[in-house]
């Protein structure tokens, strides 16, 4: 019987454990926890639509099991895996090659098994860029961006990607201010250059304080929520709705089928918003293309994601 979630013990005897299921599982997501992951329905729909004889599964892998789990990929005849919480930062030290982009981000979310070599990539940042383009018809490089939760895993990845794109302005906000300040120092060389913005800094870390955020929003086009606040609708509002000006684009990385409270506040303020489903979709599509060298069927994947999350 195919399982909802496999584990390291299964990986050790993968061919035997999965012998009954067809087509064979050749792609997976490793995480801890992993049971909630929406990636399997999205990828399985794509595999089926393109007639690729493979399935995608969830594998529960604890942090101290990651090295062994990755080494078992070759024997298991895997094409590749995604990595999710908490494995992205540990992976670069455990595989054979890390592409330059993932090295800069310091995190790998996609591994491909290329002969005997495990090669690492990061599609989260590029997935964010594609999501912004798809949702708002604008390029990240043309935007002044504020990231709430810039010191967390997702926030850091998005901030580094925005700096790599050389966005017009980047404002880093984190509840623990020191993490935002450290990231500002890391990114300063990438965000230097001609000062086009008048009195405001091109790259800033600001404390999580209402007045400081309100002042900064006057010079921001895109607000990104990369905190974990909003995953439950009962969560307290991230920012008072009155702080959101109508010109703002609001992207909430929290993915849900409907509006988060932040997006509801944005809509009430007359601002445009989008939720994190599009980032999940585009990072998944990019992983798919790395593994199978074919264009991912976005519409099929989007429908499967909406069904899974909704």
Q: Which residues bind ligand NAP (CB under 6 A)?
A: 85, 149, 151-155, 174-176, 179, 226-229, 231, 253-255, 276, 279-280, 283
CA atoms of 24 and 282, how far apart (whole Å) = 25
As measured in angstroms, the least distance from the Cβ of 271 to ligand NAP is 19
Question: Would you state the torsion angle of the CA atoms of residues 62, 279, 79, 121, taken in this order, to the nearest 10 degrees?
Answer: -80
As measured in angstroms, the least distance from the Cβ of 158 to ligand NAP is 9
Catalytic residue among 62, 88, 179, 232: 88
In the bound state with ligand NAP, the residue whose beta carbon lies nearer, of 227 and 287, is 227
As measured in angstroms, the least distance from the Cβ of 280 to ligand NAP is 4
CA atoms of 202 and 192, how far apart (whole Å) = 8
In the bound state with ligand NAP, the residue whose beta carbon lies nearer, of 11 and 83, is 83
Buried b (16+ CB within 10 A) or exposed e, 216-246: bbebbbbbbbbbebbeeeeeeebbebebbee
179 is catalytic: no
Residue nearest to ligand NAP (CB): 152
In the bound state with ligand NAP, the residue whose beta carbon lies nearer, of 113 and 147, is 147
Q: Which residues lie closer than 8 Å to 234 by C-beta, 6 or more apart?
A: none
As measured in angstroms, the least distance from the Cβ of 225 to ligand NAP is 7
In the bound state with ligand NAP, the residue whose beta carbon lies nearer, of 72 and 308, is 308
Supply the residues annotated as catalytic: 88
């Amino acid at each position: 019987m195919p399982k909802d979630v496999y584990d390291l013990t299964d990986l050790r005897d993968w061919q035997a454990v999965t012998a009954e299921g067809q087509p064979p599982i050749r792609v997976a997501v490793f995480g801890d926890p992993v049971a909630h992951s929406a990636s399997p329905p999205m990828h399985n729909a794509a595999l089926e639509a393109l007639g690729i004889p493979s399935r995608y599964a969830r594998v529960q892998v604890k942090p101290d099991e990651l090295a062994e789990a990755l080494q078992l990929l070759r024997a298991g005849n895997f094409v590749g895996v995604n990595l999710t919480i908490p494995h992205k930062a540990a992976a670069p030290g455990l595989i054979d090659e890390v592409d330059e982009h993932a090295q800069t981000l310091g995190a790998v979310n996609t591994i491909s098994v290329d002969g005997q070599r495990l090669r690492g990539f990061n599609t989260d940042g590029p997935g964010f860029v594609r999501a912004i383009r798809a949702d708002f018809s604008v390029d990240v490089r043309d935007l002044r961006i504020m990231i709430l939760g810039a010191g967390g895993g997702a926030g850091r990845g998005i901030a580094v990607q925005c700096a790599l794109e050389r966005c017009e302005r980047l404002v880093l906000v984190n509840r623990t201010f020191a993490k935002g300040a450290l990231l500002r120092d890391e990114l300063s060389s990438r965000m230097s250059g001609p000062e086009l913005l008048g009195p405001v800094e091109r790259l800033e870390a600001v404390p999580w304080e209402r007045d400081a955020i309100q002042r900064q929003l006057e010079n921001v086009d895109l607000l990104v929520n990369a905190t974990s606040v909003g995953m439950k609708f009962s969560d307290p509002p991230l920012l008072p709705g009155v702080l959101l000006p109508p010109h703002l684009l609001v992207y909430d990385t929290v993915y849900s089928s409907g509006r988060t409270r932040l997006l509801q506040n944005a809509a009430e303020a007359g601002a445009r918003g989008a939720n994190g489903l599009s980032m999940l979709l585009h990072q998944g599509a990019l992983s798919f293309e790395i593994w199978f060298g074919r264009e991912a069927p976005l519409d099929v994947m989007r429908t499967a994601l909406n069904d899974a999350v909704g």
